[in-house]
Structure 1
Amino acid sequence: MSGDTRRVVFVSQRYPPEQGGNASRIRDTAINLTEEGWDVTVLSPVKSYPFGEFERSRAWHTRESDGEITIHRFWTWQPQTADPAFLQRLAYFALFALHALWWLLRNIRQYDVVITSSPPITTELPGIVVSMFGKPWITDIRDLWIDAAVSLGHIEAGGLPERVARRFQGFALRTADRITVTTDATTNTLEETYGSGLSSKTVLIPNGVDTDQFHPGGGDTDTDRPVVVYTGNIGSAQDLHACVRAMAHLSNQDAVLRLVGSGDVEGELKRLADDLSLNSRVKFTGLVPRETVPTILSEATVGIAPLKDTDALKYAMPTKVYEYMACGLPTLVTGGDHIEWFVRESGGGVHVENDPERIAEALDELLGDQAYRDELAARGHDYVVEHYTRDEIARRLSDELVEVVGANDATSTGLSRQHTETAR
């Protein structure tokens, strides 16, 4: 290590005030690592996401502070439409990766270990290169980005973009010193796709929740107007279309679906709500400050986390589920093998098929039974507090970082001694 100070650099495509589960997770993890004694630096693009929500920046490189965290932001292409074309997205990802690589190479003596957060897979490029210079590198796989892109029709199955991406991803996984994943199902899929042997260096570091920030209370629930809340990215992986349609089948005509956030399909959902004459019962808040989310959850009646039912998303576990349960919200989920297992294991929610009528039936049952909601809320809260607090997860990550850096130091010392003995 560098003296007595342990230094880690995160390479992340998003960081607050940008929205999304990954942005908030990186920030929470970084804060908790500083409490574990790490000097934390984050490399991220200029504020860009959700696309079109931020003014374009001309600054090539700026430095900011977030408490004890140092943030370096680099210029990249900033799409200004909600659903940009493939080439615009590629420019957004690739230009940042190149700038992050430039910074890492120029400052290679100033840190001990690098963590790259994927998606997108382009963040792994800087990790690959610095690992060739002897720096330990952990690739943090939050989502199976290529699988999701193919499944959702963003890239053609078997086409050149997929083949190139698969080769790159496979090389990155084999090169990394460690692979961290959020679910065991992710490990299984990686081995099936990219070959056996990866599990020996893969570590489970699940998503979690800051229970100091997300906890029951802090808001007034309007029992005359029950609220079903969704928070986060309004994108194509979420089956929010089914949720909007479910409102037309709901027996409880007073209930409101509140969609908190922004994303690629927000416009489609607004048009759907208008077509179904649901404008008074489906509310779009747009982006809100992160610190207001716990209060929004505390004012809600039920939290909803709908994933599309595809093979590419069976492993997924949205951060919002932990946040709902930490705030004492009974939770309704769809899709995904892992998310179904989680709500059953925790006892904090229910899983239903991706069908508007089934979603409506489950919501009617939840909204009509206060005792049932209270029981689910208590179970879910206790479960995430016991198993999924972000400070505990950060300690586990810190232990992995210490081990990776220590192994690298031992290897470097051994090579140095071998070189000295050979010279003699």
Structure 2
Amino acid sequence: MKKKLLIYAHYYAPDVASTGQILQDQAEGMKDEFDVTVICTVPSYGGTIEEKYKEKKLYTEKLNGVNIIRIPVPEFSKSSKVSRIKNLLAYFLNARSVTRKLGHYDYVFTISQPPIMGGMLGVYGKKKLGAKLIYCIQDFNPEQIAATEYFKNKSVLGIMRWLDNRSCKQSDLVITVGRDLVETLKNRFKGKTVPNHKMINNWIDEKEIYPLESSNPGVVEFKKRYGLESKFIIMYSGNIGLYYDLEGLIRVVEKFKDAKTADGRKVVFAFVGAGSVLDKLVKYKNGHQMENTVFIPYQDKDKLIFSLNAADVHWCVNAKGIKGVSCPSKFYGIAGVGKPVIGVLEGDSEVEMLISEIGCGRVSEPGNYVDVEQNIRWFLDHAESDELAEMGKRGHGYLVEHLAKDVSIGKYIDAIQAL
């Protein structure tokens, strides 16, 4: 008989949150080894909820062999702290309520989302279900909150750190997704026993996200729909949120209003996604007549391959202070389609090290806008050379060998079964 595994997932398919997609891959990738159940919210990543999910207190289904328990949460605005906190608290409290009604589980798996609450849910589930706890830290909080100055009360931040350290100590295994995050964990427990831990990179499904020719009908249609034909496209794809200094970077983008590549193509900066700073970026674009900038909605999962392949170069960025705190998973999608990277990342952060070790892009330090501008100009000057294509090939080759879905999920299975 399979051992039972419970996963707490704030967001889960069909929500487009990157952590939700990662957890879907994990749940479905581990279902042959474990009897997997997921507790998640009703689809709500954009803040709104369909009417069909406003009728009951609980929704259950089986999705691709995984048992899903969806719990209701209030709608929210990503620009409103109060509404977001209410949404997170509703998930936390309702997930605890559901947990109390479950029987024994062998393992509980949780991630660091929602901030602090994800770990606390895991500890609660461990005690209620008699399970071993695996706590996967995708983002360290309160460090992330403090780095972006989203919240500044030092007393509250101290309590949050204490609570999250408690979750780490109560875990049978802490998994981080980057070498720099391992150092943060060690520094938290400096002079004390560091919790049992392991580093496993995130991934992309190389069977779903892979290189396509520019003549592919899906790529051609995407470019046509958004007026990108015959342009040199520098793309940002993902959450347009607080942790990426996009408000600073759009001022660099403004300097390329009339830019062309060495082979004569106009340059366009495409931002694909949504998030709390999107409105600010749109307002800046409109106020500065930036025809070189286009904003595109999130793409459905089955269309993501076309949007990612449409770019000539991809941004992979984090704000200053995020080193050791968060690892931008968008890098794996970029490598998946074999495109070069313009990185804005702190030195010795996980993805900066990967880009440097692989040789698949050029990187600037966050806040060094002069260097960011120079790197963009380098790509424009080399637009028709083979060097860009070679960068992309190196990234894709490394991903297939080391960062593919089955490789990373296999590491998770081995780590859990070894407990």
TM-score (norm 2): 0.88
Match of 1:274 in 2: 286
Q: 1:361 aligns with which of 367, 374, 379?
A: 374
Alignment pair present for 1:64 and 2:84 = no
* CA-CA distance at 1:54 after TM superposition: 5.6
> What's the CA shift string for 1:159-188, capped at 9, x where partnerless?
3x2122122111111111111110122122
Match of 2:4 in 1: 7
Cα separation, 2, equivalents of 1:198 and 1:44: 33
Match of 2:346 in 1: 336
* CA-CA distance at 1:145 after TM superposition: 2.5
SS at match of 2:162: helix
Match of 1:398 in 2: 413
Contact map agreement 1:15 1:26 (CA 8 A) in 2: yes
Moved over 6 A (4+): none
Cα separation, 2, equivalents of 1:237 and 1:399: 32
Q: Give the % identical residues.
A: 20
Question: How large is the RMSD of aligned CA atoms in angstroms?
Answer: 2.1
Cα separation, 1, equivalents of 2:353 and 2:91: 36
Residues 42-53 of structure 1 aligned to structure 2 (within 5 Å) = 42-52=38-48
Q: 1:290 aligns with which of 292, 301, 311?
A: 301
* CA-CA distance at 1:224 after TM superposition: 2.6
Cα separation, 1, equivalents of 2:124 and 2:308: 42
Match of 2:90 in 1: 95
Match of 2:163 in 1: 168
> What's the CA shift string for 1:94-125, capped at 9, x where partnerless?
2212222222232122x321101112221222
Contact map agreement 1:333 1:349 (CA 8 A) in 2: yes
Q: 1:188 aligns with which of 165, 183, 187?
A: 183
Against the structure 1 CA distance between its residues 156 and 91, is the aligned structure 2 distance closer, same or farther, given a 3 Å change threshold? Answer: same
TM-score (norm 1): 0.87
* CA-CA distance at 1:6 after TM superposition: 2.5
Cα separation, 2, equivalents of 1:393 and 1:197: 29
* CA-CA distance at 1:53 after TM superposition: 7.2
Match of 1:349 in 2: 361
Cα separation, 1, equivalents of 2:166 and 2:339: 42
Higher percent of residues as helix: 1
* CA-CA distance at 1:193 after TM superposition: 2.3
Residues 13-412 of structure 1 aligned to structure 2 (within 5 Å) = 13-34=10-31, 36-52=32-48, 57-79=54-76, 81-85=77-81, 87-109=82-104, 111-120=105-114, 121-133=116-128, 134-159=130-155, 161-197=156-192, 199-217=194-212, 218=216, 219-220=219-220, 224-250=230-256, 251-252=259-260, 254-278=266-290, 280-310=291-321, 312-337=322-347, 338=349, 339-353=351-365, 354-369=367-382, 370-404=385-419
SS at match of 1:351: strand
* CA-CA distance at 1:41 after TM superposition: 1.4
Q: How many residues align?
A: 394
* CA-CA distance at 1:126 after TM superposition: 2.8
Against the structure 1 CA distance between its residues 265 and 27, is the aligned structure 2 distance closer, same or farther, given a 3 Å change threshold? Answer: same
Q: Report the residue type matching 2:395 in the other structure.
A: G
Give the gaps of 5 or more residues in structure 2: none
Cα separation, 2, equivalents of 1:102 and 1:137: 18
Against the structure 1 CA distance between its residues 101 and 181, is the aligned structure 2 distance closer, same or farther, given a 3 Å change threshold? Answer: same
Contact map agreement 1:173 1:198 (CA 8 A) in 2: no
> What's the CA shift string for 1:336-364, capped at 9, x where partnerless?
33132121011111101334443232122
SS at match of 2:74: coil
Against the structure 1 CA distance between its residues 155 and 243, is the aligned structure 2 distance closer, same or farther, given a 3 Å change threshold? Answer: closer
Against the structure 1 CA distance between its residues 290 and 153, is the aligned structure 2 distance closer, same or farther, given a 3 Å change threshold? Answer: same
Contact map agreement 1:208 1:388 (CA 8 A) in 2: yes
Give the gaps of 5 or more residues in structure 1: 405-424
* CA-CA distance at 1:198 after TM superposition: 5.4
Against the structure 1 CA distance between its residues 53 and 361, is the aligned structure 2 distance closer, same or farther, given a 3 Å change threshold? Answer: farther
Cα separation, 2, equivalents of 1:264 and 1:351: 25
* CA-CA distance at 1:317 after TM superposition: 2.3
Cα separation, 1, equivalents of 2:368 and 2:294: 21
| 175-184 or 332-341, which deviates more | 332-341
